[in-house]
Amino acid sequence: MSKVVRFHQTGGPEVLQIDDLPPSEPGQGEVRLTVQALGLNRAECMFRAGMYLETPVLPSRLGYEAAGIVAAVGPGVTGLKVGERVSTIPAFQPSKYGVYGEWAIVPGYACAAYPEAMTPEQGAAIWMQYLTAWGALIEFGKLERGQTVLIPAASSSVGLAAIQIAKASGATAIAATRTSDKKSRLAAAGADHVIATEQEDLPKRVMEITANRGADIIFDPVAGPSIEILAQAASQHGTVFIYGMLDPRPTPFPMVPAFTKGLALRAYTLFEITGQPASLEKGKRYVYENLKSGALKPILDERSFTLDQIVDAHRYMESNRQFGKIVVKV
């Protein structure tokens, strides 16, 4: 018997529990991993709470990102063998698969090697953040040298990934955070400018920084009424990518700036990348090349957890105190 994390009803972090289950055998196209580390994501909190894009089938496992060792290979899997060190790409349904636990069954296509120099904790902090940011900024946003990216909630793992990708592209990265508490760390993480939105006028500061041009791309995980403020900070023909729903309130369409600026407002999910084999391979090449060059380097939160502390880990994520990826050691 081995430990896995499941929830038998939706709700807050306290619904997560450790269950003892025997490792199951991988089916067609699947592999079983012995998990060494987990990377936590907001999507998992929303899934656990019953507020995600997909409804959990109870009792449900959860989790997109793990680093571990291939323990068993199912029929039809090619390119993977027992003993290989891999991490998981969020390219599967959370209601069907989940990686929180000492073992996990995942599709073979969702496994990828990670650099030998990286620890399992770092390996569990690659794919969600970098592919999410790459898809919006590079694949769809066509970010160019000299342009400006505005990144709300910049201290999240995806926000920090967006800073690194913007800098690797020769763009200006403007990080937005609610208070001044994280300003120095965001600057140290590569942001060219940091705006504390509770103390500063966001559109005014963006226009000052960009000589009244505005941000070419806005990469927002929050949505809700703040979209109207973000739209004021956008450039002519700018694009707002909304990749999350952290604010549960309705999201208005910013009609006036949309018309006056020719603004594009676009909902975006990582699965637009991971669900398309060609796009996924293109994104993986980008990530591998930039990990090797050092342009990309996962930033882990200073606090880590064990599997037995998974409830505390989810509470910590929902507190918004983290800076970078929250990792659970298994």
Q: Which domains does the chain have, with CATH numbers?
A: 2-126+299-329 (3.90.180.10), 128-271 (3.40.50.720)
Dump pLDDT digits (tens) for 273-282: 999 999 999 9
Distance of CA 121 to the CA centre of its chain: 15
Collapsed DSSP state (helix, strand, coil) of residue 240: strand
Residue % of the chain over a pLDDT of 90: 99
Mean pLDDT of the chain: 97
The phi, psi pair for 207, rounded to 5°, reads -65, -35
Distance of CA 238 to the CA centre of its chain: 23
Residue % of the chain over a pLDDT of 70: 100
d(CA 277, CA 273): 8
d(CA 172, CA 53): 32
**At how many degrees (to 10) do helices 157-168 and 277-293 cross?**
80
Taking 3-state DSSP, the helix, strand and coil percentages for the chain, each rounded to the nearest 5, stand at 35, 25, 40
Dump pLDDT digits (tens) for 284-327: 999 999 999 999 999 999 999 999 999 999 999 999 999 999 99
Distance of CA 108 to the CA centre of its chain: 21
Dump pLDDT digits (tens) for 118-145: 999 999 999 999 999 999 999 999 999 9
E strand or H helix at 254, and its extent?
none
Q: Quick check: bond before 107 cis, omega within 30?
A: no
d(CA 283, CA 276): 11
Dump pLDDT digits (tens) for 236-260: 999 999 999 999 999 999 999 999 9
E strand or H helix at 167, and its extent?
helix 157-168
pTM of the predicted model as reported, rounded to 2 decimal places: 0.96
Dump pLDDT digits (tens) for 25-65: 999 999 999 999 999 999 999 999 999 989 999 999 999 99
- pLDDT band per the 50, 70, 90 thresholds, residue 211: very high
pLDDT at 225 (0 to 100): 97
pLDDT at 288 (0 to 100): 98
pLDDT at 15 (0 to 100): 98
- pLDDT band per the 50, 70, 90 thresholds, residue 215: very high
The phi, psi pair for 319, rounded to 5°, reads -80, -15
